[in-house]
């Protein structure tokens, strides 16, 4: 099929199964672009850390004594041992390699090593941890492994502007001041691109998302929330909140404008972030591609500090998108085996309403040529 038929060709199945292509994506996409690593509030105190897989690297994100966040490659400069072997934790004063006890300050500087004092000519500043570029935005720490990172304003903020028309629209939700009311981690047996493609379209919504289309009836027409710049899908007439039964949720977040009330906005920030905005909370997905057929997705449900601190029940709003996630990931896992089929060697097709997936494929191929 060609574009002239009204249908748009997709990538071939090998793009979802070939280890060489996955390795190229790790190098040319995830290790060169801004990657949303951790929720900043998960590291509230000096010495708190989390290790994150970015591309082929383990990255250590930690809170310094000055209150700022920093990121380093999680590799000891002595013999290359993994510095922090736990996914998260807290150190009192410094990071110490469990192999030969080389010790680094929270700022990444080498501060001690056995017998190092016997080598007075050694410049310790040359043997600190390798720093990784880091920016904080929307309450998350975004890291970039590139020596010369792309513009954060163009690469990350630009994706939001392209979707909503401006940055003010997302800033009204105050993501940096919200609290995590629930976090669910999904281990999806599917390629990361299948998950991105699924999130970007709603052609499937009437088929597999009965609860979602009850709340957002316009999704039954197959047009995704990302189809129009600035468009938010409107709640149904008898729907009071973005909950599993359409019942009331919580008070509207401070700052959310009247025109944003009773609407749902979805945003894709390539390569691995989805943001879902509703009046009383935000749902924030981060993907961690681990293999051609395995992707870990960490999903945060963010509410006002008052809602979380008071212990209010968030289960009815969590349950709605948790079901959406499970339905979506099940669909992606059904597609993954077929990516290796001879029937999909040349790919499939997209409907015109899925044209933005075609644009995602074009973007992907452009990254390979860089």
Q: How many CB atoms lie within 10 A of CB 192?
A: 27
Range of the domain at 276: 1-17+165-369
Quote the pLDDT of residue 227: 66
10 Å Cβ neighbour count for 183?
A: 14
Residues 175 and 319 in one domain: yes
Q: Quick one: pLDDT at residue 2? A: 44
Q: What is the pTM of this model?
A: 0.95
Four-residue CA torsion sign, 15, 21, 25, 28: negative
User: What's residue 120's pLDDT?
Assistant: 76
Phi-psi category of 67—alpha, beta or left, where left has phi over 0 and alpha has psi -120 to 50? left
Can you give the pLDDT at residue 5?
A: 65
Domain count, the chain: 2
Q: Find the length of the chain.
A: 370
pLDDT of the residue at 232: 93
* Residue 52 bridge partners (DSSP): 59
Which of 115, 143, 158 finishes a domain?
158
For residue 122, the model assigns a pLDDT of 76
Whether residue 23 lies inside any domain: the answer is no
The segments of the chain whose pLDDT lies below 70 read: 1-5, 118, 224-227
Same domain, 99 and 214: no
Partnered with residue 263 across adjacent β-strands are 234
Residue 193 counted as domain residue = yes
């Amino acid at each position: 099929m060609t574009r002239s038929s009204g249908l748009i060709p997709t990538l071939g199945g090998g793009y979802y199964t070939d280890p060489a292509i996955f390795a190229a994506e790790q190098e040319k996409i995830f290790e060169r672009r801004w990657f949303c690593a951790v929720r900043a509030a998960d590291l509230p105190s000096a010495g708190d850390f989390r290790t994150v897989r970015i591309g082929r690297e383990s990255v250590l994100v930690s809170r310094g004594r000055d209150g700022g966040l920093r990121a380093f490659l999680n590799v000891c400069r002595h013999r290359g041992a993994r510095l922090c072997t736990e996914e998260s934790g807290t150190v009192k004063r410094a990071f110490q390699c469990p192999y030969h006890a080389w010790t680094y300050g929270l700022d990444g500087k080498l501060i001690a090593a056995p017998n190092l004092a016997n080598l007075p000519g050694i410049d310790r500043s040359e043997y600190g941890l390798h720093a990784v570029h880091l920016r904080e935005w929307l309450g998350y720490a975004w890291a970039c492994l590139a020596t010369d990172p792309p513009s954060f304003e163009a690469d990350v903020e630009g994706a939001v502007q392209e979707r909503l028309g401006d940055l003010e629209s997302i800033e009204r939700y105050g993501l940096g001041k919200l609290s995590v009311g629930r976090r669910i981690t999904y281990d999806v047996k599917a390629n990361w691109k299948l998950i991105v493609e699924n999130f970007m379209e709603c052609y499937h919504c009437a088929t597999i998302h009965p609860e979602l289309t009850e709340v957002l009836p316009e999704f039954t027409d197959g047009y995704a929330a990302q189809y129009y710049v600035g468009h938010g899908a409107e709640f149904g007439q008898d729907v009071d909140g973005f909950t599993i039964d359409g019942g009331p949720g919580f008070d509207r977040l401070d700052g959310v404008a009247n025109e944003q009330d009773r609407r749902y906005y979805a945003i894709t920030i390539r390569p691995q972030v989805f943001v879902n905005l509703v009046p009383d909370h935000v749902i924030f997905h981060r993907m961690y591609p681990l293999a051609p057929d395995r992707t870990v997705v960490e999903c945060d449900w963010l509410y006002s500090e008052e809602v979380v601190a008071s212990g209010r029940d968030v289960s009815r709003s969590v349950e709605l998108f948790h079901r959406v996630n499970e339905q979506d990931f099940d669909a992606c896992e059904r597609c993954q085996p077929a990516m290796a089929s001879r029937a999909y060697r040349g790919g499939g097709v997209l409907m015109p309403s899925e044209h933005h997936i075609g644009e995602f494929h074009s973007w992907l191929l452009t990254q390979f040529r860089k």
